[in-house]
């Protein structure tokens, strides 16, 4: 199985930032994912809010690009839409991206407590679309990272990351031409090549030709030499049956055929 690394880009402001960062990192650790993110020593709460922060995040992603399977963008509050898009663009990564936003607490909707990540997620996704960066969304627009819904989204996203990594630079063998009556199996090699998947073709007749040129191993086992037995009614050719010949698998010696009482082979 491909190593599952999810790089977490934290984008948040205000007092909710440290809580949001701790919550999401806790869930990722519980689910068995390694995270690569800016530390609180590099930026405030490990978040990216400015052009300078975006550069730091992009440089971090470039440094670990061979270890990265996907990027998780989490929004504990509105966040900075341009910093998110710039960090992903400058990193040069071509991996799946998942956008998650924290929900608001209806009991805490004051100016000091409101997250407003609902609107922040729409702004961030709009910028990613303008930048031409593809992304995935959680099942719910805003979701608690400790909920089963988000854990399910995370598992599905990790599966997507494994598929993408597994198919990058893949070489697929196509033996023989497709049946003329089955248009449903048509595909474009050029489209696959754009995604890094190369198709190697081989004519079916070449397969048969190569198989025919293979030398068959010679059996030197005495137990497998054919023996002719003459019966009163017919002449039957049989082979002594032990296990298969040593060329295929080890023989097991068996006792010799015994003549039936009162009978002798015809001469």
Q: Is 102 helix (H, G, I), strand (E, B) or coil?
A: coil
Q: What is the pairing mode between strands 235-239 and 226-230?
A: antiparallel
Residue 226 has a pLDDT of 54
Residues 6+ apart with CB under 8 A from 1: 162
pLDDT tens per residue across span 163-212: 999 888 899 999 988 888 889 989 999 999 988 899 999 999 999 998 88
Residues 6+ apart with CB under 8 A from 166: 2
CATH says 6-167 is which class? alpha beta
Say whether pLDDT at 45 is over 50: yes
Q: Which of 25, 27, 22 is nearest to 155 (CA)?
A: 27
Residue written as token pair 């040069």: 92
Domain ranges of the chain: 6-167, 171-212, 220-255
The structure's pTM equals 0.67
Percent of the chain having pLDDT more than 90? Answer: 37
157 burial level (CB within 10 Å; 0-12, 13-18, 19+): buried
**Angle at the Cα of 71 from the Cα atoms of 192 and 154, rounded to 5 degrees:** 95
Provide the 8-state DSSP code for 259. P
- CA 101 to CA 139: how far, in whole Å? 11
- Cα(first)–Cα(last) distance of the chain, in Å? 67
């Amino acid at each position: 199985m491909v190593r599952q690394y999810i790089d977490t880009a934290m984008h948040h402001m205000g007092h909710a930032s440290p809580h949001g960062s701790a919550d999401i990192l806790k869930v990722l650790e519980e689910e068995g994912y390694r995270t690569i993110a800016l530390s609180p020593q590099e930026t405030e709460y490990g978040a990216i809010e400015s052009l300078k922060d975006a550069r730091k995040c992009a440089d971090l992603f470039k440094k670990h690009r061979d270890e990265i399977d996907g990027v998780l963008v989490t929004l504990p509050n509105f966040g900075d839409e341009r910093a998110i898009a710039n960090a992903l663009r400058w990193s040069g990564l071509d991996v799946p991206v998942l956008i998650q936003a924290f929900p608001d607490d209806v009991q805490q909707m004051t100016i000091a407590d409101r997250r407003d990540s609902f609107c922040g997620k729409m702004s961030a996704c709009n910028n990613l679309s303008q930048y031409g960066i593809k992304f995935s969304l959680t099942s719910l627009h805003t979701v608690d990272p400790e909920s089963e819904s988000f854990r399910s989204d995370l598992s599905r996203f990790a599966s997507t990351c494994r598929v993408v990594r597994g198919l990058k630079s893949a070489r697929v063998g196509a033996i023989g031409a497709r049946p003329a009556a089955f248009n449903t199996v048509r595909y474009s090699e050029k489209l696959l090549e754009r995604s890094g998947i190369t198709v190697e073709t081989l004519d079916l007749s070449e397969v048969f030709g190569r198989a025919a040129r293979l030398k068959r191993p010679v059996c030197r086992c005495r137990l497998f030499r054919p023996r002719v037995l003459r019966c009163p009614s017919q002449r039957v050719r049989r082979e002594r049956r032990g296990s298969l010949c040593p060329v295929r698998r080890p023989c097991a010696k068996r006792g010799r055929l015994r003549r039936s009482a009162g009978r002798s082979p015809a001469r």
